[in-house]
Amino acid sequence: MPNVSKIGNFFMILVVLQLSCTKLQTPAKEGALPMERLIQTNSIPSEWGKLISVAISPDFPRRVQLWLQDEKGNIHLAFYDMVQNRLSPDAIVFRRI
């Protein structure tokens, strides 16, 4: 009986470890720009810095591009949908090295 108990405990540990794991972000493809995920789509994190530009693409006239620069010089590009009145949950980051 002790062997069955040890095997049961082993599988229980495996289940707990599996549940406690979090998925890592997949690395960006070569040449692809890294993306950041907004936690809330009704505000922009203050760590992203100051707004430096606002632009509209002729291909997406209802979508506004918000360009922000943080203290390290990194550029964050967030997208605001004027029809849905919300920010896109994905933003592009141009990192300074």
Average pLDDT over residues 12-41: 71
79, 65 Cβ separation under 8 angstroms: yes
Does 22 map to a domain?
no
5: CB partners within 8 A, 6+ apart: none
What residues are paired with 65 via a beta bridge?
Answer: 55, 79
Q: Are 78 and 58 in contact (CB under 8 A)?
A: no
Evaluate whether residue 19 is within a structural domain.
Answer: no
Q: What is the β-pairing status of strands 50-57 and 60-69? A: antiparallel
* Residue span of the structural domain in which 85 resides: 29-94
- Average pLDDT score over residue span 56-74: 94
Residue 4 lies in a domain: no
Q: What is the mean pLDDT of the chain?
A: 83
Domain count along the chain: 1
54 domain residue, yes or no: yes
CB count in 10 Å sphere of residue 76: 22
**Position 63 in a domain:** yes
Residue 28 reports pLDDT greater than 60: no
Question: Is 21 part of any domain?
Answer: no
Answer yes or no: is 5 within a domain: no
